[in-house]
Chain A
Amino acid sequence: MTIRIVPPSPIPTPIPFTSPSTAAEMRRCMLRVAFSKSARHRSLVSRGPAARLGTACHAVLEAVGRGALDEVSEEEWDSHVRALWERAVQSQWDDARHSTADSELGPPVSWPYYYLRLAQLELITRELARGRRTDDVASTLALDGFVGASSQVRLGYEVSLEGFGGKLRGQADRVTVGPEGLCVDDYKTGAIYEHVEEPDHVASLKEDYRIQLLDYAALYHEETRIWPDSARVIPLHGEPVLVQVDPLEAERTAREAIVLFDRYNALASQGRADSLASPSPESCSTCSFRGPCDAYWANVAESWVPPDRPSTAGRATDVQQLGDGSVVVTVEGTQGAPYLGLVRIRGLTPQQISGVDGVLEKGANLRVVRLRGHQKPGPAELWAGAESEVWVTPF
């Protein structure tokens, strides 16, 4: 919540392997991977309560998938899920309180979707547990269809997979055999559909997620020499989305992941962080590291920024505290979008403009991201919220 000093770019180091999710990150921008591997940069950027609850959801699903609640009766189910949930969330809160960016997060019950996620987990873990009780029998029967390969087939929950000379690794949430054949499941806690603002648009699975499923399919093939027939994304809420596995495409996406991995390590071994960047509207709009990222500021243009996600960088020409305690900062914007020139930012809190070295003063060079859209017609007036980040460049 407090003001942050822009640190030097991360110094990337080679990584021992990649995973379907890291590969997805690399496809967007390899610098994001470097940022997320740097503890210093990671601690400066808010993960936010939504991502933390997502991690907690995965922890509960993983525990249930591994059989932690196999002996629990139906009557006691909710209370046991709640206990797992509270433990997982507590772990996230502990981590947040020790971080720089999330240290002021309130108690988890105040985090958005806290109870909704728990209610969703209560239902989905019931289905998961039912599956665990029936999968063994069903899968054994279905395995008869895999002539000559049954000994290779790996079914179950939290299945570790490795291939391509150890360069690509991952852990499938569940592998089952059913009416759809051999299927790899991946649980997702956030939105799974592409966001398209068109009235008649038919929702489609996020391309990142589809490719991750194919990567898992390829990994599974590497491990067992058997191609899964399908793969599914299972959201916390709503129907699972099935993806038919095309072995050729899956092989290709996995190979691409390996190419990106090799390229990353080659550049990392030369310490060339700037060469890792692939700034673009698609990549940067979802990136948490916009504040410290020089490549973002050098490339961001008006056409990149949706009206509700402005950002600005430049010299602070005025810092004024209003009678209601809020702060208005005027910036002579030289970078950012949608405005350049004098930009007035309203609604900042005193905490957001103060740090260990004191309070923001006129003349400081700022980068402000995660602003909200302007609230009234007229140019160069932006609105800050609790999620807005104020970064100060040291020089």
Chain B
Amino acid sequence: MLSRSSETPFRLHCEELTGQTDLDDSIRRQRLFQDVMLEEDNRVVDPVDLLSVTTTMEAGIDIGGLQVVMMSNMPPQRFNYQQRVGRAGRRGDPLAIALTVCRGRTHDDFYFRNPERITGDLPPQPYIDLSRLQIVRRVVAAEAMRLAFTAARVVSTDSEGIAADLGNSPHGQFGSVAAWETHRTRVRDWLASAEAEPLLARAVDALLLEVPPPLGVPEQRDGLLHYARLELVDAVDQALSSGPAFQDQLGELLANKGVLPMFGFPTRSRLLYQRRPTTRDWPPTKNVIDRDLDIAITQFAPGAQTVKDKAVFTSVGVVGYERRGQWVNAIADPLGSPANAGLCRRCHALTTQEVDNCPVCGEPVGGEFGMHQISEPPGFRTDYQEGKPFKGNFEWAPGASRARVSESDPIAAAVALRGMGLTIRKGSSRIYSINDNEGRDYEFRRDPGGHGWVVPEAYGENPPPNVAPQQTLVRALASITTTDVLFLGLERAPSLAGLNLSPATVPGRASWYSFGFLLRSAAARLLDIDPRELRVGLRVFREAEAARAEVFLSDDLDNGAGYSTYLAEEDVMRALFEMIGPEAKEGTIAAQWSVHAQAGKLCDSSCHDCLRDYSNMPFHPLLDWRLALDMADLASGRALPEQRWLVRAAGAQNQLCEGFGFKAETFGGIPALLREDEKIVQLLTHPLWDTDTRSMGLTLARSHEEALRAYPDHRLAFANLFDAVHRPAYILDTA
């Protein structure tokens, strides 16, 4: 274009300024973008004209006045949009332009069609939560441990009995996990001593200053003090003995297990080392990229590529470094001791026991069920070469699984809520995200230079020499968090007869996830918090010879604020369901959603006015407001309102008949597709109806019998209305 244009060439110096930019570069680029030049700068070459930024530049960083802001996707909400476009047009510029390029995804599509929503929706109110006991208890625990380790003059020793430091964990310098046994008695004795009491009381009083009830009351103060003095050591013991742990430092382990605070400390983030770190730059601030572990197990997995500063870096393995005196050394075994994990792609169960078949659906190993050895790496590494120039493409990496809870991990007994169809369990659980490389795992070999474990295939055309083939570890990568979790299931009541809620079916999974995001949305309203404070996932398990599911809500922030536990209180849960339904009651969510689906504002599955938002984008294809309300009705003890779907049936029948040339029929009030050429009668069913003749409900059974009598020489098949709405072409294959 430029070669054919008569326009004068102009300079466009572009630089990246994001969370992964090295600190020195970040400050300099910010300065150069604002035309602040120092002596060492070249005034012709160095000034930056265009910054490529991420959300880290959304607020709090002064980059001066801009003329143009271009966004390469639609921001999550109005306030994000406002912050970003608001960067342009300051400082008296008469003209400012904001251009948003929408991607081909559901979130962008919605706001492209409804631009007034991204500019005019009400922004959420900021909040500080002073009501959660869990938060203050973890802080009390951290202070109590600090006081105890200091006052009791605990000194760590290494394996040879030589005095060693207590580590550098930002959660508290409490030595290694292995050394706890030697510290334990002194810590316990000091915490229980008369000397400790006033110090601990002062800490508790300071934390509860100006805190309103229910937390700021004398009983809570006494309880916190009692916990710090007499229960904390037991809590530490319990954390050490419960389930797999991948942390060496006691402070970090206790934060991961929910005994100490986590939020604000970046120990769940993992570095991708672009170069071997040195003592001069320790802890490293250059040549590293950090990501939260949940993301790192995908984005930094061997073979995955990351773009930074116009260069592409390829991850090849895992590594961890530690400083010992004057040296920074690679730790001996960054993959550590593995844990078992079985992942089933058929029923979506996770098990942590070693088995030959999926314990939920029976799928054998080698089928859609796979057993893996999982590790939670301390860090990741590239090939330690210069990055390759970015030419617009980079390697896609298989993603980690959705958050799951193991069917075999200990779990509290379910409690049924009287008068409802709901069961709840609450308690601390481990939540797993696993990257099993699409079932193939990663085959790690020991790096000949001693820098962790690498996957030779990840190097591409230039694999490293001297990789010892006999030292191979096959692992999947995991991110495991321990947090408070609320599980919600449906009581096995006669009202569920004739329904199929199995997570092994697409409508079944869709109904559970839709239910989960409905609950999240209602909980956010009830608690006046951002919905993203709560994570939604599934626990798939076996009961009464069938695959069953529960949806879980957990605090999304590390160690959370205990919202999920609070929601488990019976009064709160009942209030939550009051807020949701029934549909006939004015002001309920169900009533609002029913209206939003009516003509003019037609929502046939889900939209940003019901279940969708930016944070649950991967779930958008599954989410459906009708299914969510169906599940809420069942959970409330009401019968399934079949008409919610069946009013949609006639329309779906017409579309399918017109689209595929079928004839319309009706049997027992249920629309059907007559596929004469194939001699098939296909009944259009409610998505939650069980179509197995052994367990189908009466409405479908009547239709089934009438169809068979009317067309005895035809084969009978089913097509559910979820598929009719979400993926009509799939119906052709289901008969």
Contact = CB atoms under 8 A, between A and B. Distances in A.
A238 B716 CA distance: 14
Contacts of A322: 353
Contact of A123 (B407, B696, B698, B705): B705
Contacts of A237: 705, 708
A386 B543 CA distance: 12
Contact of B701 (A107, A119, A238, A326): A119
Nearest to B700: A115
B57 to A, nearest CB: 49
A: interface residue count bin:
20 to 34
A119 B697 CA distance: 9
B359 interface: yes
Contact of B712 (A118, A239, A326): A239
A120 interface: yes
B498 A115 contact: yes
Nearest to A120: B705
Interface residues of B, number: 30
Contacts of A118: 698, 701
A120 B407 CA distance: 39
Given A122-B702, A322-B353, A115 B497 contact: yes
Nearest to B495: A109
Contacts of B702: 119, 122
Contacts of B8: none
Given A113-B693, A114-B497, A119 B545 contact: no
A51 interface: no
Given A324-B408, A375-B357, A115 B696 contact: yes
Given A113-B693, A115-B696, A376 B705 contact: no
A235 B693 CA distance: 16
A115 B497 CA distance: 9
A323 B407 CA distance: 10
A119 B498 CA distance: 13
A114 B497 CA distance: 9
Contacts of B362: 375
**Which of B696, B698, B706 gathers most chain A CB within 10 Å?**
B698
**Which of A109, A110, A116 gathers most chain B CB within 10 Å?**
A116
A307 interface: no
B188 interface: no
Interface in B216-275: none
Interface string A102-115: 00000101101111
B693 A116 contact: yes
A385 interface: yes
A365 to B, nearest CB: 28
B708 A376 contact: no
Nearest to B697: A115
A268 B362 CA distance: 47
A82 to B, nearest CB: 8
12 contacts: A112-B694, A112-B695, A113-B694, A115-B697, A116-B705, A118-B698, A119-B701, A120-B705, A123-B706, A237-B708, A238-B708, A323-B408
A162 B316 CA distance: 88
Given A109-B497, A238-B712, A324 B545 contact: no
B65 interface: no
Contacts of B701: 115-116, 118-120
A217 to B, nearest CB: 27
A238 B698 CA distance: 18
Contacts of A238: 708, 712
Contacts of B351: 324
Interface string A126-169: 00000000000000000000000000000000000000000000
B364 interface: yes
Contacts of B497: 109-110, 114-115
Interface of A is mostly: loop
Contacts of B695: 110, 112, 114
B734 to A, nearest CB: 20
Interface string B364-398: 10000000000000000000000000000000000
Contacts of A113: 693-694
A324 B696 contact: no
A375 B704 CA distance: 32
A313 B703 CA distance: 46
Interface in B328-379: 351, 353, 355-357, 359, 362, 364
Q: Which 4 A-B pairs have the closest CB atoms?
A: A119-B701, A112-B694, A109-B497, A115-B701
Contact of B356 (A114, A376, A386): A376
B11 interface: no
B712 A324 contact: no
Interface in A365-395: 375-376, 385-386
B709 A123 contact: yes
A324 B362 CA distance: 13
Interface in A314-330: 322-324, 326
A324 B407 contact: yes
Interface in A210-241: 237-239
Interface in B635-665: none
Given A116-B693, A324-B408, A376 B364 contact: yes
Contacts of A385: 545
Contact of A119 (B355, B359, B694, B704): B704
Contacts of B693: 113, 116
A370 to B, nearest CB: 14
Given A114-B497, A376-B364, 17 more contacts: A109-B498, A115-B498, A116-B696, A116-B704, A119-B698, A119-B704, A120-B701, A123-B705, A123-B706, A237-B705, A237-B708, A238-B708, A323-B353, A324-B359, A324-B408, A326-B359, A376-B356
B367 to A, nearest CB: 10
B485 to A, nearest CB: 20
Nearest to A119: B701
Interface in B697-735: 697-698, 700-702, 704-706, 708-709, 712
B276 interface: no
A258 to B, nearest CB: 39
B494 interface: yes
Contacts of A326: 359
A112 B694 CA distance: 4
B343 to A, nearest CB: 16
Contacts of B712: 238-239
Contacts of A112: 694-695
B34 to A, nearest CB: 61
Interface in A229-269: 237-239
